[in-house]
Amino acid sequence: MYTLLSGLYKYMFQKDEYCILILGLDNAGKTTFLEQTKTKFSKNYKGINLSKITSTVGLNIGTIDVGKARLMFWDLGGQEELQSLWDKYYAESHGIIYVIDSTDEERLSESKEAFGKSFDTQPGFPNCLSVPDIKTAFSDCAPKIGKRDCLVQPCTALTGDGVNEGIEWMVKCVIRNIHRPPRQKDIT
């Protein structure tokens, strides 16, 4: 009887929670991406004025529910001195979103370097790099990614274009990953 009631409780009042890191250089659009995500996936969330977003020092946390999954986002600061802290969050994470400002071609190699270091331990704007350009620039990082699922999803954090597709892909990946089970959290 206890097992039946316990299972019913879990079905009714708990969601599988997955922790997702949002990484990238400072001013790449990580917090703007998080705000767009919360606005699109949270019914009553009004969001903040995107022009008021400043550089993240430390981290921002956001949570959304997608079906029976709860995604908790950790938006980590991207300044060079904060990048050394990224790996401290990996053990608890189920997925990583790496944000690249495709309008800032001058910092592309710096972004690639930060991305590569993190694994050792598009549309709507003129002059932005294409997905194939970004894939080519990051191609030598493929061995560091290994067998992990990886997607280069073009999106515009300012308008929200492409955010839904990226989040829906992330949900599918974290749910099917049997090697990293979700945490059980009561619905609040």
% of the chain with per-residue pLDDT over 70:
88
What are 100-144's pLDDT values in tens digits?
999 999 999 999 999 988 766 533 566 788 888 888 998 898 888
pTM of the model: 0.71
Structural domain boundaries in the chain? 16-186
Say whether 26 counts as a known binding-site residue: yes
Fold assignment, 16-186:
Rossmann fold (3.40.50)
Q: How far is it, in rounded angstroms, from Cα 19 to Cα 148?
A: 16
Is 69 assigned a ligand-binding role in the annotation? no
Which parts of 25-86 are beta strand (E)? 59-66, 69-76
- Consult the annotation and say whether 95 binds a ligand: no
56 is an annotated ligand-binding site residue: yes
pLDDT, tens only, 64-108: 999 889 999 999 999 999 998 998 898 889 999 999 999 999 999
The reply, when asked if residue 29 is annotated as ligand binding, is yes
Which contiguous run of DSSP H or E holds residue 145?
Answer: helix 142-145
pLDDT digits (tens, 9 = 90+) for 134-164: 889 988 988 888 888 889 998 888 889 999 9
